Amino acid sequence: MTILRNPTPQQITVYTSGYTALAVFCMMFIFALIVGGWYTWLMVILATIVSYITAYYVFGYYLRKYIYRKVKVIYKSIHSLKMLKSQKQQMKDFDFDSHIIDEVEKQVIEWAAQKQDEAAYFAPMDDYRRNLLGNISHELKTPIFNIQGYLYTLMDGAINDSQVNEKYIQRAAKNLERLHHIVEDLDVISQIEGQQMDMEFQRFDVHKLAMEVLADLELKATKKNINLRIKEGCERPYHVDADRERIRQVLDNLVNNAIKYGNGKGYVQIGFYDMDANLLIEISDNGIGITNDHLPRLFERFYRVDKARSREEGGTGLGLSIVKHIVEAHNQTINVRSTRDIGSTFGFTLEKAEL
């Protein structure tokens, strides 16, 4: 029963030829009974043998041709590479005694599973690409539209109005600067992702670098009445092995963000924690904080928690994405902890430099 349920092409040919020969034998047998004579029985035997051999080769030829044509179409559908002549000939000369249909079915199932896995893998990437393109379009459209509006207004005669011409030119320049920053940040991300940016690793004191960053941003923090400081107990050298300028970019971005979203009379502090092989650096504030639903997407490109406030502060929406890429380019990790109206803490690790 197993053979009949799942026969090979060879077995199908044998069975079909056998049934054909049996039918011929039955007809000749009846003919021999009517006619009689020993030569009639000889004809019965010869006719049966000839019909079996003829049916075997005829059925075998057409079955082989039929299977080859069907399998060829299936192979064209599931294989991405064009078949060589040798491969086509090999398919023509397949083992007639093998379960060729089962083998093809197995390959089709594997192909279908592979396509399903590919679809599952690329679906989130496609969604991310669509969102990214939409975000880029939206971010570029705003400053371009503003610049266009100011310039057209000036061209329509406002250039001669001393009360508005300088103001419109300054606003157009500000939007142009924002546009420049967006393109520049996108270029940085693409270079880091494409591993086209050279990382200059060196041994340096990250505590000293942090002090430089705080000094650079002191004026901005003073305007918002925010105190910049190093965490108590961390006022000593911490040597790491990293790209100094890239880590400056990371610290500058994180401290800048903390000042932007900080509260008046608040603070922003940088702490250092020894983790054996690595050093944990944390930038903390007691600002407005971030709700949990925003945290998983915080490092995405153009993702903003407070869109109106972020644009008002002049951000491109790419800062945290660049920070994440730079840290990951050092084979390290970055994370964030935050509670609404209590504050946020961004922490990243760097490899400690050997003495």
Which range of 46-50, 103-107, 174-178, 271-275 scores highest in mean pLDDT? It is 271-275
Q: Nearest 10 degrees: CA dihedral of 219, 220, 222, 228? A: -90
Q: What are the domain boundaries of the chain?
A: 2-98, 126-193, 201-351
pLDDT computed for residue 63 by the predictor: 72
pLDDT computed for residue 1 by the predictor: 42
Beta bridge partners of 201: 243
Least confident of 79-88, 158-167, 246-255, 302-311: 79-88
How would you classify the pairing of strands 343-351 and 201-205?
unpaired
Least confident of 24-28, 94-98, 153-157, 242-246: 94-98
- Round to whole Å and give the CA distance between 348 and 271: 11
pLDDT of 131 over the 80 cut: no
What confidence category does residue 125 fall into, taking pLDDT thresholds of 50, 70 and 90?
Answer: low
> SS3 for 149?
helix
Mean pLDDT, rounded, for 51-75: 75
Q: Up-side HSE of residue 140: CA atoms within 13 Å toward CB?
A: 11
What confidence category does residue 244 fall into, taking pLDDT thresholds of 50, 70 and 90?
Answer: very high
Which range of 106-115, 127-136, 148-157 scores highest in mean pLDDT? It is 148-157
What confidence category does residue 209 fall into, taking pLDDT thresholds of 50, 70 and 90?
Answer: very high
Higher pLDDT, 69 or 266: 266
pLDDT computed for residue 210 by the predictor: 96
pLDDT of 26 over the 50 cut: yes
pLDDT computed for residue 73 by the predictor: 67
**CATH-assigned architecture of domain 201-351:** 2-Layer Sandwich (3.30)
Mean pLDDT over all residues of the chain?
80
pLDDT computed for residue 102 by the predictor: 67
pLDDT of 325 over the 70 cut: yes
pLDDT of 355 over the 80 cut: no
pLDDT of 135 over the 80 cut: no
Mean pLDDT, rounded, for 318-331: 88
What confidence category does residue 2 fall into, taking pLDDT thresholds of 50, 70 and 90?
Answer: very low
What confidence category does residue 212 fall into, taking pLDDT thresholds of 50, 70 and 90?
Answer: very high
Residue pair 243/330 in contact (Cβ under 8 Å)? The answer is: yes
pLDDT computed for residue 33 by the predictor: 79
Least confident of 37-41, 221-225, 277-281, 302-306: 302-306
pLDDT of 303 over the 90 cut: no
For 7, 26, 41, 221, the CA distances from 13, given in Å and listed in that order, are: 10, 20, 26, 89
Domain at 126-193: CATH code = 1.10.287.130
> SS3 for 236?
coil
Mean pLDDT, rounded, for 109-120: 76
pLDDT computed for residue 85 by the predictor: 57
What tens digit of pLDDT does each residue of 149-195 get? 888 888 888 888 877 888 888 888 888 888 887 787 777 777 766 66
pLDDT computed for residue 308 by the predictor: 47
- Round to whole Å and give the CA distance between 351 and 348: 10
Q: Against a cut of 0.75, is the pTM above it?
A: no
